[in-house]
Structure 1
Amino acid sequence: MFKIKFMDDHLKKYRRMSERELSHSVHSNMWFTPVLYVLVSLLLVTATMTSDLKYNLGYQMHPFFAVDYSLTLNLVGTLTAAILTLTTFTFNLILVVFTTFSGQFSPRMLKNFIASKSTQRVLGIFTSSFIYMLLSFLFLNKRLAEYYFAVPVFAALIAAFSMGTFIFFINHAVAWLQVNQMTYDMKKESLSIVKNTLENEVDPFKVNDLSTVNIDICEERGDSIYAGKSGYIKLIDFHSIIEEAEKDDIVIQLEYTIGSYVFASTPIITYWKNEDHEVDVQKYLAFISIGRKQTEVQDIEFSINKLVEVSIRSLGNYDPKTATNAIYQIGEVLSSISRNSIFSKYLVDKSNNLRVVLQERDFSHYLYHSFGYIRHYAKDNVIVCTEILKVLDLMAKSLNERDYNAVWEFGVFTASGFEDLFLFTLDYQQFHHALHNLSVTTKHEKEYEAFLEKNKAN
């Protein structure tokens, strides 16, 4: 009874998930792909055992290809233990290595590696190979067949394939463990989240010209909807919220954004009614997924934070090249956000009526939460801060011009307080050359001159 209730609760958790959240949850777990491969191995066991036991394929083959019962039993039994040992050894070794790397760079690296398709396919191949050998060993029967063909031949082929997979996996792990490859994969993930969350899900409903939208209702006192449970906001179904708000003729304000932590008693939604009617509160809460941990499904800042962690930990481990590499990857993600995003907190329906008000997030917010932490931990490192200025300049060349002021102000923030830290003339030249290039790109040459005059005066 307890097991049935536990499974029912587990299934309910997946039924409550949205399509994107369910897809992310399933593919980030280690069991999904191996289960598919095991099902294939079950079909293969059925086919080979049927061929040998029912159709006596071993008797119909040339004696050279027919394998007697004893040899088949020894072969399958030996391969069963060998594949299990190979699987255990491989993943034990990899987990030890990744535990070390997680402590050195980011604890989230292990999850990324486990969630990669190549890793899951390798685990699926090892698991299905072991299941095939085990079941074949179990169902071998001397009374039903003295000679076998399909079972030993497929066992040998699967063993050879598993060995090839082992070599591929070692090569995959070594390639993935390279820092440049890790940061590149993290950047690709962040760019994908930016595209799906901002460009595809939110931006189509945003409005820039506020003169076409009536926002006066938001100045009145509204009704509150409480979260109902504690945790991180993992996912928000903006499309459904706007559709239901249009049907109910209400305006909704989301008091917190994706990635925020809320308590059960926290007012998470404020809404205003144009007419006096009842609003189904639970309907809107169902469109907001709250869980115990943050996920990368819609959380842009959380995905960028992985690269930030790599950079900060590299600084702590005296590895400036890795830190610089992560900084450039972050810069590319921020450039994508600036070019392709509409920084407006107002979402409208098809009739251009205001329906949802978000928490305001502009480019400065993403810029600070990306480079601000790195700047703090690199405050005494002139070389790394010079690289930050170079990245800002590289970013500015592809940014939307509306974000020039934000980039320049952050550049000045980064450049402040370094006059006593230049050990060599070359430090001074490189640093101020990078800041000058940034001022030219962002069209703040006068501000750059004023900054120099201020530093000379001090």
Structure 2
Amino acid sequence: MKKILFFYNKLMDTFWFIPVLIIIISISLSVSLVIIDQEFTFSQDGLGKYFFVTSADSARSILSTISGAMIGVAGTVFSVTLVALTLASSQFGPRLIKNFMYVRLNQVVLGSYVATYLYCLFVLNAIKEGDDYTFIPVISILVAIITALINIILLIIFIHKIATSIQADKVISDISEVIYKQINSLYPNKMGEELENEKINIVDIIKTKYINSIAIKSPKSGYIQYIDSEALLKIVSSYDALLELFFRPGDHLVEGIEMGKLNFNNDLNKEQIEEICNQFVIGKTKVADQDLEFSIHQMVEIASRALSPGVNDPYTAITCIDNLTATTCRFSQIEFPSKYRIDDKQNLRIIANTTDFEGLLNASFNQIRQFSAGSPAVIIRLMEAQITIYGFVKKENYKKAVRKHATMILNIGKQTIKEDIDLNDLLERSKRILSE
């Protein structure tokens, strides 16, 4: 079920699905309203004479005007979207294009204008005028006018959204919001079983209980986008087997590479092995669904571009560091899933490749530190970030990881900061961590 939900979410995130859905709804609405106009006669007295069209020529003129304007604006919307994507690609990196394409408002606006154009064409075709029979779909025309008014409002909202969405601070803030949502989605509850040190030592003994083992090879090249962990646990448990996974979502696979090893006693056929492989979704690009580092890398890419000699924008890099500091502090408070997964009978079934705090800390700050050479403001802010994170971490291995980063930041500061006062500022800050 979760795998179906994953593909549904991917479909909703495409740039074409929502517009096509709106177009289908508009065509269905045009046919339905024309039928209503045929079945019922609407009074054109009183208020009706102000809202209902009484002339076939006027009806055609109104619908032609609306349809022509809508398809023209649709082209403008498409052009503005492409310009925004181009600016985002050059300023923030090509991987950020997905974030702009997946904005629901952009999809709705494009679909709404094209759908209104087609709606007017269908209603226009239904107008009939003759000596003995005249049909004017007054309700359908009134709906077209109301829709045109709504589209004008949508255009204003769209322009405002585009103007704000390409601002660096807004882009970084949106990525941070995505990361927070991912944290709540990926780690809402404890997953797996934390084995004590003495129990970890018996994992090798557990493996010896299985007579056979077979390599689970990747069926194609690409990135792991999704693993249905619950289904995989049930399948492996039904086989009375133990599965070791060597990769996690976000990792790249080459066709035929050993992505896991299955230890078992009973004979397994080819279909059963394929059933295990089917729980992995492998695609050509990375996605953020189960890959927390994906969104982190997006923010790191913005900071890295900002620190390049051609851009030289330390303020944007500092904004990225500030947001990464907030998310890393959040990481220090969550319970990361254990790599040991057990079934209902308390039998070890899966040894997964999982992410941890140190891995996310490395993903957040390693590249920024490497590109920050020669920028005292950024190096000092990186040290301040480690001080803030250090105040939140409780586990000793987390503190050790933060101190390691602080040491590396201090080293690059000593190597590249030429001004003694700036270097002394860095040294003073580093003592708050490294003096312990």
TM-score (normalizing by structure 1): 0.85
- 1:33-432 equivalences in 2 (<5 Å): 33-57=18-42, 62-67=48-53, 68-143=55-130, 144-145=133-134, 147=136, 149-200=138-189, 203-212=190-199, 214-217=202-205, 220=208, 222-273=213-264, 275-278=265-268, 280-316=272-308, 317-342=311-336, 344-359=338-353, 361-402=355-396, 403-419=398-414, 421-432=416-427
SS state of the match for residue 108, structure 1?
helix
Distance 1:24 1:193, change over 3 A: same
In structure 2, the partner of 1:452 is none
Q: Distance in 1 between matches of 2:85 and 2:155?
A: 17
Letter in 2 for 1:36: L
TM-score (normalizing by structure 2): 0.89
Q: Is the 8 A contact 1:58 1:147 kept in 2?
A: no
Q: Distance in 1 between matches of 2:173 and 2:52?
A: 52
SS state of the match for residue 265, structure 1?
coil
Distance 1:343 1:163, change over 3 A: closer
How far off its partner does 1:242 sit? 1.4
Letter in 2 for 1:259: G
Distance 1:187 1:63, change over 3 A: closer
Q: Is the 8 A contact 2:127 2:137 kept in 1?
A: no
Question: C-alpha offsets along residues 250-304 of structure 1, whole Å, 9 cap, x if unaligned?
Answer: 111002222222222111121222x343262111111111122211111111221
Distance 1:247 1:186, change over 3 A: same
Letter in 1 for 2:251: S
Q: Is the 8 A contact 1:58 1:149 kept in 2?
A: no
Q: Is the 8 A contact 1:343 1:363 kept in 2?
A: no
How far off its partner does 1:173 sit? 1.4
Distance 1:244 1:73, change over 3 A: same
In structure 2, the partner of 1:456 is none
SS state of the match for residue 339, structure 1?
coil
In structure 2, the partner of 1:24 is 9
Q: Distance in 2 between matches of 1:360 and 1:88?
A: 46
How far off its partner does 1:105 sit? 0.8
Question: C-alpha offsets along residues 377-405 of structure 1, whole Å, 9 cap, x if unaligned?
Answer: 11222211111111121222222323011
How far off its partner does 1:434 sit? 2.6
Letter in 2 for 1:431: L
Q: Is the 8 A contact 2:379 2:413 kept in 1?
A: no
In the alignment of these two chains, the number of paired residues is: 423
Q: Distance in 1 between matches of 2:256 and 2:50?
A: 76
Distance 1:93 1:417, change over 3 A: closer
Task: Choose 210-219 or 224-233, whichever is displaced more.
Answer: 210-219
SS state of the match for residue 226, structure 2?
strand
Distance 1:155 1:375, change over 3 A: same
Letter in 1 for 2:301: E
How far off its partner does 1:335 sit? 2.4
Q: Is the 8 A contact 1:294 1:302 kept in 2?
A: yes
Identical-residue share of aligned pairs (%): 21
How far off its partner does 1:66 sit? 4.1
Distance 1:58 1:123, change over 3 A: farther
Q: Is the 8 A contact 1:51 1:57 kept in 2?
A: no
In structure 2, the partner of 1:450 is none
Question: C-alpha offsets along residues 143-196 of structure 1, whole Å, 9 cap, x if unaligned?
Answer: 353555323322221111111110011111122222222111111212222333
How far off its partner does 1:356 sit? 0.9
SS state of the match for residue 418, structure 1?
helix
Letter in 2 for 1:113: F
Q: Is the 8 A contact 2:248 2:354 kept in 1?
A: no
How far off its partner does 1:64 sit? 4.7
Task: Choose 241-250 or 120-129, whichever is displaced more.
Answer: 120-129
Q: Distance in 1 between matches of 2:123 and 2:394?
A: 63
Q: Distance in 2 between matches of 1:315 and 1:373?
A: 11
How far off its partner does 1:63 sit? 4.4
Q: Is the 8 A contact 1:255 1:268 kept in 2?
A: yes
**Alignment RMSD (CA, Å):** 2.4
Q: Distance in 2 between matches of 1:52 and 1:276?
A: 69
Provide structure 1 residue ranges, at least 5 long, that are not aligned to the other structure.
1-14, 447-458
Letter in 2 for 1:277: D
Provide structure 2 residue ranges, at least 5 long, that are not aligned to the other structure.
none
Q: Is the 8 A contact 1:230 1:262 kept in 2?
A: yes
